[in-house]
Structure 1
Amino acid sequence: MNILIAQPLLEQELKQLEHELQNHPEVDVFIFPEGYINDNFELACNLAKQYSKIVISGYKRPKDRALIIDREGRALLDRAKYDDSILVEIDEKKIGLMLCDEIVIQGMNHIKPAKIHYIVHPIGVGMFSEAQFQEWTEEARKIAKQYNTMVIGTSHANGTYRDSKVSIPIAYCLDENGKDVFISKNDTRTKILTFETKQVITV
């Protein structure tokens, strides 16, 4: 199974998602940041169905929601931010989804330890400080070790949080022992991860 981890620019349409779907038929799962899908919920579902791919991201209606779309274009997970329902089974894999600051506000403590194949962490804009970058990756590391599962996160390539003048784009993958598969800072190139071997290529 191949997983694409994208760091797109903020946009009103889904041109970058469509581009990745068209150009990477070898990929099964496409991970985009929190809020990337924006108001394009139906379009995202149609694209997932058209290309028979799994799409994981978030959108606004009008507030932030977490979203996992299956190969048939169905929203298997569509929940408000800070809701507890964060697990879904798809393609015989159990997937967790933490949206942006959920990782530090509520984490996974309300979920009993169970077999989770991987956890996805879509982030909105980049980190507003080096300290935040370290804090969030360390929280992800703890979760990876606690649940013995891979954790994958990504943010947009641009945009800042509120009035911050700093935006550090982030993408990362930690293995089930909390060790780095990769941690990307200020490198917004797309990554493709092979789940079984934990090999990563940058495209």
Structure 2
Amino acid sequence: MHLVPGLKVLYFGTPVVLISSLNEDGTANLAPMSSAWWLNQSCMLGLGNSAQTTANLLREGECVLNLPSSAMVDAVDRIALTTGKPAMPDSKVRQGYRYEPDKFSVAQLTEQASDLVRAPRVAECPVQLECRVVSAHPFGGPASHTTAFEVEVLRAHVEEDLVIPGTHYVDPVGWDPLIMKFCEFFGAGHNVHPSRLAKGWNMPHQLESTII
């Protein structure tokens, strides 16, 4: 039997992305998100309008999509409730967000120069996609506070061990992406780390993580 519970959250699971972008003063911003999907050499990103990343993408027109493995969950969770924008809406304050101007340091990750865009890559991420913004659209109806960005992948950097030898393909067995499913972190089908974001969003989860 199927129920019709009127689901509050439709977030069945997508890869976590660390978006690096440039702030107005030229410093780097780093933001975790997981509303992303790919088709050919394009990617769609869903971002809240109050985010510093949204302002940066609209202004700079470029970014890097860094894909962490499940083993990097600690770094991602360290910046899960941070924002690069000093002025926060009340909703973020209630959820426990705090202003953090240097997210690379907080995440304990390393900036790496990109080839084709000004935004830095995350050196520790096995997959790094340099992108330019193609278009931006309001998303979710007239009262929405979100933007859908279409970005074009200009260059993909992939850890050598993840590339099938002699091909241009990623090994799907070797690649273990960090997945966010209903605000919880998963890798290889298992919950891998407690989530600050789930706590901030008051998700009714009581998960015992298996750290990998």
TM-score normalised to structure 1 length = 0.26
Higher relative contact order (CA 8 A, sep 6+): 2
Higher strand share: 2
